[in-house]
Amino acid sequence: MDRGMIKWQGFYLSDHTSALNAEHEIKDKVLQREVSPQMTVKEITDVINKAIVKNKTVKIQTNKCDSNGIFEAPIVGKISGYVSSELYINIKTIVKIDMIRSIIFM
């Protein structure tokens, strides 16, 4: 009976190995994520204004972090509008302007 248990201990199911590989890819992407330097309010508003006028796609890095201090993934899209201190990206994503760390054209 022990020999049968030992024989199968080293094998993983294909679903398990693919899940592990996917998890490692996600962790690698998070670790490789670049954190942009904090832009001034004037720099941020200048880029926002130019993006709206020229209908450009932007990449926004927010100041939001998880409990490990890892910044959220950047938000990429076109600015579809704004209301007071909130930007609407691709109509469905709302970003508070005071939470923007950096914004660049794509």
The per-residue pLDDT for range 4-55, each reduced to its tens digit, is: 555 555 566 677 777 777 777 766 665 556 778 899 999 999 999 999 999 9
**Cα(9)–Cα(70) distance, rounded to whole angstroms?**
35
Average pLDDT, the chain: 83
* Range 47-68 average pLDDT: 92
Are 62 and 90 spatial neighbours (Cβ–Cβ below 8 Å)?
Answer: no
pTM attached to this predicted model = 0.69
